[in-house]
Amino acid sequence: MPVDVRLPTLLRSQTGGRSTVSVEGKTIGDILNELVAQYPGMGGQLLNEDGTLHRFVNVYVNDDDVRYLDLLDTPVKPGDEVSILPAVAGG
């Protein structure tokens, strides 16, 4: 069953302007890899060359940051909402 993924404005150009896409996967890694398979332009914006999560991207399952869970191994289930947000830096 697909999981809804909410995308930031920065990535919407890859999806034809859609703010939410449905993707199949059992883990965040599966979800991100499927996103990149469907929308190849997202690859360098989400993942590093070694397949790890880019440090300037925050990913949440419901309201939980995957960096404090199991990163790419964080499980997702039907009904979960995955949100991708660019990291904000400044001073």
pLDDT in tens, 23-81: 999 999 999 999 999 999 998 899 999 989 998 999 999 999 999 999 999 999 988 99
What is the CATH code of the structural domain delimited by 3-86? Answer: 3.10.20.30
Three-state SS letters, 15-80: HCCCCEEEECCCEHHHHHHHHHHHCHHHHHHHECCCCCECCCEEEEECCEEHHHCCHHHCECCCCC
**So what's the pLDDT on residue 87?**
81
Residue 28, classified by CB atoms within 10 Å of its CB into exposed (0-12), middle (13-18) or buried (19+), is buried
**So what's the pLDDT on residue 33?**
95
Domain ranges of the chain: 3-86
